[in-house]
């Protein structure tokens, strides 16, 4: 009997025995990671489709001549900076300092809004030059289709990220403070940054 109990305890103590999380994390954070992984697959599909279309196109516009690269670089700077501040917000939340966490969250939100403002300007400029989802003045329909789909999908993630961060910050400001909540929102925000790193390199620079 004692041997049976000991065996049961040994199994429960193992990684996959059901007695503890094999991933050593809370369910909410693990679910956020699962969401990030599935969302990353969607973006991977977009980027690979873009690569495919570009490879089969006989010509492709020179991006550095079409886009304002100073603006795109500034957008990258804004998003990377907001990601760094977001990491500090998680640090402050974990350290039990909600006031500082809310300040960092507010700075992150400002970074996101700056990014979105630049993207609205970029879209308006691109549309003003005659680009549409299926046609554009450069004669390669896939070019503008890729641009609108990839940056639009990413921009929507930034917009929803700003909304999530605003909710987390407001809850923290009124005392409904959760370090796990801040960390999960932070994971999502960093994921947005990671996706932009890919978009910046493969859509604008390559």
Partner 1 sequence: MAQGHDAHAISYKTYFMTWVWLLVLTALALGIGYAPINETLKAFLLVGTTLAKILVIAAVFMHLRYERLNLILITFAPLVLAIIMFAFTFPETLGTSTHVIQVR
Of 127-135, 153-161, 167-175, 195-203, which segment contacts partner 1 by CB under 8 A?
Answer: 195-203
Q: Which one among 50, 126, 148, 204 touches partner 1, defined by CB under 8 A?
A: 204
For partner 1, the binding residues in 60-99 under the rule CB under 8 A are 64, 69, 73, 76-77, 80-81, 83-84, 86-88, 90-91, 94-95
Q: Is 168 in the site for partner 1 (CB under 8 A)?
A: no
Shorter beta-carbon distance to partner 1: residue 148 or 204: 204
Q: In angstroms, how far apart are the furthest CA atoms of the chain?
A: 80
Instruction: Tell me how far CA of residue 86 lies from CA of 53, 80, 196, in angstroms.
Output: 35, 10, 16
DSSP 80: H
DSSP 138: T
- 78's enclosing H/E stretch is helix 69-94
Instruction: Tell me how far CA of residue 27 lies from CA of 23, 113, 129, 165, in angstroms.
Output: 9, 30, 48, 20
- The binding site for partner 1 (CB under 8 A) comprises 15, 20-26, 29-30, 33-34, 36-37, 40-41, 44-45, 47-48, 51-52, 55-56, 64, 69, 73, 76-77, 80-81, 83-84, 86-88, 90-91, 94-95, 186-187, 190-191, 193-194, 197-198, 200-202, 204-206
């Amino acid at each position: 009997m004692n041997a049976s109990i000991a065996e049961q305890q040994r199994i429960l103590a193992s990684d996959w025995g059901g007695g503890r999380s094999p991933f050593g994390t809370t369910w909410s954070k693990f679910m956020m990671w699962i969401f990030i992984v599935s969302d990353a697959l969607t973006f991977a599909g977009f980027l690979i489709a873009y690569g495919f279309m570009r490879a089969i196109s006989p010509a492709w516009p020179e991006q550095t001549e079409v886009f304002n690269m100073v603006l795109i670089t500034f957008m990258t700077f804004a998003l990377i900076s907001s990601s760094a501040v977001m990491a500090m917000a998680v640090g402050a939340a974990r350290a039990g300092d909600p006031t500082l966490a809310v300040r960092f969250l507010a700075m992150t939100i400002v970074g996101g809004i700056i990014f979105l403002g630049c993207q609205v300007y970029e879209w308006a400029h691109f549309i003003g030059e005659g680009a549409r989802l299926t046609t554009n003045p450069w004669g390669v329909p896939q070019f503008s289709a890729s641009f609108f789909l990839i940056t639009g999908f990413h921009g929507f993630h930034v917009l929803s990220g700003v909304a999530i961060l605003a909710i987390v910050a407001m809850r923290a400001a009124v005392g409904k403070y959760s370090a796990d909540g801040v960390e999960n929102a932070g994971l999502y925000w960093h994921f947005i940054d990671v996706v932009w790193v890919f978009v910046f390199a493969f859509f604008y620079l390559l």
